[in-house]
Structure 1
């Protein structure tokens, strides 16, 4: 049962259905699609990551709507949204915030940075230096920011939506492995179809469709959806399937670096959200297969053999999925 169709009450363990998730998610999806035309799978992946309490990396050439997608997601959910424009001269304190000394009070006062928001848009993240990129490591993993020895928590939901241009473009720095590993999924928007591009001309002729986008869900709704997603059932056979798939990336001769244990957890969490968006209270192997490439590929490093054969990480993950036996239903 797909997102946006009538749910027939398929129960999860305990008898409760995923209707609360479907209702809010449908409205969020429809709101975003008024801005992003002809990309339903891209919007679906963004919603999956949001409900799985992860972070999203959007990589593509300039001008295809990466920033527009992130802004639309932020506006559809009535939470705080902050944008960080990553540039070569950006400093870590420009992201996390700094302590400022006040002469009148003779004391330091913390001035929060833009990372203190529900949805943080990191625009062109790979145009900043690795030192500045690392300012996001703690907040993305631990939901807190440490400045001057004090840890300051971030309010859930907290999601970093980062955009980046392909690494071979001028003025970019490659994201460190530790940074890439903290993003739950990486997607590409891609060019629109000719019809979608024609519709886009009409939509953008008078004003930006973002100006007409009103919130359709609140922060409390997103928290409730995320709380439900944590309860989606993952059978032992499906868990073993996930572990076997991740292990296969570590033993492949075409890969120099396989997926981390964090990738295993991210794949399970994303599969739970994906199942909830399908109206199910349980994960099936199809959910894992649909998410394997966006969740795993960006974490992998190719071996010289793969580069010589001009293979991509996405192709290697797809091959591993095709070869791995699917667990039998019980």
Structure 2
């Protein structure tokens, strides 16, 4: 199978290597000629994947035209570049070619829509879109550490093609799902909670605090997801609680690292500059906040995060506000007595 991977960040390289390992003919595309030259020369991205060598069999290019001959096209670009890259791709890729998006976030320029919607709109609905998402650190996938992920799509054939391309029997297991809404929202909004979990760690709070934050955070993500048409059970799966755990608890997570810096007193802008790469949770917080307002869904943790990141509220004050919300049951229960 010919696979064209757009994006040479850590995740794009890790997936290109996995696909190459699985026996596919892989081409990796980068927007920057300077980066292309560096990767040709060094065969590694030392900043994002130190010590990981890119196999010579993976072609690296700045020419997107090769996507026209691919059986599968993978979008592994930063969230801010998904729409513009899809628009360029629409002029190249023929109808029916499966597009796999691995980015996590929402398109704030187009009404906070999901990336699969952005891509489908750019392609005029002529190409099936798959969201490949779950608890996956590029640093571990690139080193062959066993991982499980979900390929979600409205098209069963597209999801199963993606499953066949990425899955192997040594280190990468792929499940399919028809609930692309829930899978994408889980992948996008867990970054909000991971950023907050990092703030909790930076403040020196304990495991109790982070566990409560993660659990109640997932509850409100699921609440919004169901309102938008997702299945409740999706949020108990790999793209929901699985992705939440790995992002909130690992130092591989840029969101958690940025949150720790904010908890220690840095501004959001200072923290993102220090991390030195895209902190998706910052942008997801804005999208989640406004989407919840539009839908009339209560998301108190997201609201608190928005107040901290965009309103300048001290993190301790936001925590106090969350703890002093009105009393309520954990679930909407009917008491017999």
The TM-score normalised by the length of structure 1 is 0.29
TM-score (structure 2 length as normaliser): 0.28
Name the structure, 1 or 2, with higher relative contact order (CA <8 Å, separation 6+): 1
More helix by share: 2
